[in-house]
Amino acid sequence: MISPKHLVKIARKWQRVAAMRRKRISFPQVDGDEEVLAHRGHFVVYSIDGKRFMFPIRYLNDCIIQELLKLSEDEFGLPSNGPITLPCDATFIDYMVSMIQRRANAEIKKALLMSITANTCSLSHSLQQNHTGQQLLVCSH
C-alpha cells in the first residue's frame, strides 16, 4: 500500500508535468527565409490553415480587421505567448486584404463583415460569375 505522503509527492510531480505541457506553445512552421518577428510598424497574424500574414499597423483601424480580431478572440482566446490566429483560411484573408487595399466602399465592407460573422469563411475559386469574372464569397455555418 502507498503511504499518503508518497501519494501526495506523486500527485505534485504529475501536476508539475501537466503544467509544463500546458505552457508549451507551438508556433506555426516558418520557412527559413521568413522572420519570426514583424517588421517595425507591422503586426503578424496567421490564418487557420497556418499561412503567415504581415500587415501595417494602420490596418488595425479598418473595421474588417477589427471584426476578425474579435472573432479570433472569441474562438481561440487571447494568446499570451503565441501567435494570433484569425478564424479564416488564407484565401479569404488574401481577398480581405485586396478589399482593404482597393479602399472598397461601405456597402462591400458591410457585406464582407456580414460574411465574416458567419462561423466559417472561405473564398471559393470554383464558383465564379461568368459575366463579371469576380469571385464569390461562400460562408457556411
Over residues 4-42, the pLDDT tens digits come to: 777 777 777 777 766 665 554 444 455 555 556 778 888
Closest CA to 65 of 83, 82, 88: 88
pLDDT over 70 (residue 112): yes
130/111: higher pLDDT: 111
CA distance 134 to 130: 8
Domain residues of the chain, as ranges?
35-140
Residue 133: predicted pLDDT = 44
Q: How confident is the model at residue 131 (pLDDT cuts 50, 70, 90)?
A: very low
Note whether 62 and 98 are within 8 A (CB). Answer: no
- Straight-line distance from the first to the last Cα atom of the chain, in angstroms, rounded to the nearest whole number: 54
The three-point CA angle 95-112-101 to 5° equals 45
In DSSP terms, 136 is beta-bridged to 124
Closest CA to 86 of 56, 44, 37: 44
CA distance 113 to 99: 12
pLDDT over 70 (residue 108): yes
Q: What average pLDDT is seen over the chain?
A: 71
Q: Which residues have C-beta within 8 Å of that of residue 52, sequence separation ≥ 6?
A: 28, 30, 34, 44, 45, 46
Rg (CA), the chain: 21
CA distance 128 to 109: 19
pLDDT over 80 (residue 118): no
Closest CA to 44 of 82, 89, 91: 82
Q: What percent of the chain has pLDDT over 70?
A: 67
pTM value is 0.56
> What one-character DSSP code corresponds to residue 124?
E
